[in-house]
Each structure stands twice: as structure tokens, then as C-alpha cells.
Amino acid sequence: MPEIPDLEAIRGFLNERLPGTAVTAAEVKIPYIVRTGANALMESLPGDVFGETQRHGKFLLFALASELVLAINPLLTGRFQYVEAAAKRKGKLCLRIELANGMELRYADLRVMGRIYLLPLEDLESIPNWREGGPDLLDPGLTEDVWLARIRKYRGRIKNVLTKAEFVQGVGNAYSDEILWEASINPFTARSDLDDDDLRRLFRTAREVMAWATPLARERMVKGETLDYTERRDFFRVHRLGGEAVCPRDGAKITDIEASRKVTSFCRTCQPGGPAFS
């Protein structure tokens, strides 16, 4: 699932190339995924011009000169490409946008779980669950004190809180493991068992991990003037490395625990606490 570092890497790359570029054609291959109407999108986009791309949580927001916004939430398996028109197309290609510079912006989705909206900027809140979401993790308004006040309202395991969009947006299963490892906090620890110092450290660490991972994610999806996001994360320290690697901090084996079709990875030695697992 694309999370902040992946989407920030894509956003940064596209903002070096897309602004001022006109759309010459748009093709929707899987209409279901365009929740504001596939025909309307194909009719509206040609002739429009891209502005700056923004990110909100797990959405990429493509601003257009018409004051419309192309909002894409890739969910679990959505993948972006910025390639030459002759480049091989991915399976389950959902949207193909031809650009005046000869390149194409593409969105493919293996499980067709993502969502695409084309709507006025002021209508973003009409997107389902938009209003219920918390602040983006990188929002300047989310200060350490605001984080502390917000997180105190939540109970349950700290990993579940960290990945709850109502609390904070942009963090998913994979990067929550990396954040909690960096902060030396067991993912199964109850939020109520963490003191204010722990919670403040978690805030700082969360942003540090995003800053560390974003350029590494970009290196793995960019080749020259093309972008092909394939979610290559060989720089991770713990996530999904149970039985394959040892903790970079203390040399202990990494543990993977699977529940509800999600894997949680951590080091039992430097992330003590939580329930005992055999």
C-alpha cells in the first residue's frame, strides 16, 4: 500500500515535470474506479493543463488550470507511471492520460481497489470519509503538542492507533512498523501504557522516518525521466523481515506476527513490552 514516502516521492518527481503540461487525451480503461464518472473525466481532461500536485494522507491531488482536481487514492495496489507513450502497459491499467510533451501519466490497480475523482477543489469534502480523517502526519499544524492531545483520546494497541486515519493520515501497516522500531516501542503496547515522553518521541520519530524513507523510495521508482512505482522497499529495517534478518540495532532476530491478514514486524529485544507471544 502506498504510504507517505511513496506518495511524496511520486509527488516530488511529478512536480518537476507536470506543471504547465497540457492533456491531449484521456482514456479510462476500467470505468468503475472513476467515482465521478468515467465519461465526464474523458471529456473534461483533454485541453486542461496540470498545475502542482499535492498530497493529503494517501491521496494524490492533481491540480488543473480549470480549477478542477484529479484526486486519486491508490489504496492497496494502485500504481503510478510516468512513461513514454510506447512503454509497455501494466496489467489492470485503469487510467491513461496523454500529455503534450509526449509522455503519459498512468494509473494501474491490480485489485481495482483504488478510487479516482475529478471534481472542483471546494468539493473535496464530498469524497467519502474525507471529513472524518485526521490531519496529515506532515501537516505543519500538527505540532507535537497537538499530536499529544489527539493521541490521548485513543485506546488500544499503539500500532492500531498510529494507522487509524481518524487520528492521523498517511501511515499504513508497513511504515508503522518502521516508525515503532525506530522509536523502540513495541507495536502491541497499549497506548495508555505509554507516557508523554514516549508519545512525544513517537511523533518526532514518525516524521524522521518519513524524511529518511522518501528519497530512498524515489531512488527505486525513478529512472531518468520515467517513473514506475512498484513498491520496492529493500531498505526496510524490520517490516516483513522476520526469519530473514536481524535487528540492525542489537542483532536479535526480527519477529513477524500475522493477524487479520496483516503482518506486524518488530524486535523483541529493543522493543520490549506488549503481550507475550510464543
Whether residue 276 is predicted with pLDDT greater than 60 in this model: the reply is no
For 90-113, what is each residue's pLDDT tens digit?
Answer: 999 999 999 999 999 999 999 999
Every domain range in the chain assigned CATH 1.10.8.50: 144-216+235-267
Q: Decide yes or no: CATH 3.20.190.10 for domain 4-126.
A: yes
Q: What is the DSSP letter of 219?
A: H
For 212-242, what is each residue's pLDDT tens digit?
Answer: 999 999 999 999 999 999 888 999 999 999 9
For 30-76, what is each residue's pLDDT tens digit?
Answer: 999 999 999 999 999 999 999 999 999 999 999 999 999 999 999 99
Every domain range in the chain assigned CATH 3.20.190.10: 4-126
Cα distance between residue 101 and residue 120, in whole Å: 25
Cβ neighbors of 58 (< 8 A, separation 6 or more) are 1, 2, 3, 7, 73, 74, 75, 169, 170, 172
Q: Give me the count of residues in the chain.
A: 278
Cβ atoms of residues 168 and 143 within 8 Å: no
Which CATH fold would you assign to the domain 144-216+235-267?
Helicase, Ruva Protein; domain 3 (1.10.8)
User: How high does pLDDT run on average in the chain?
Assistant: 95
Cβ atoms of residues 189 and 151 within 8 Å: no
Which amino acid makes up residue 215? P
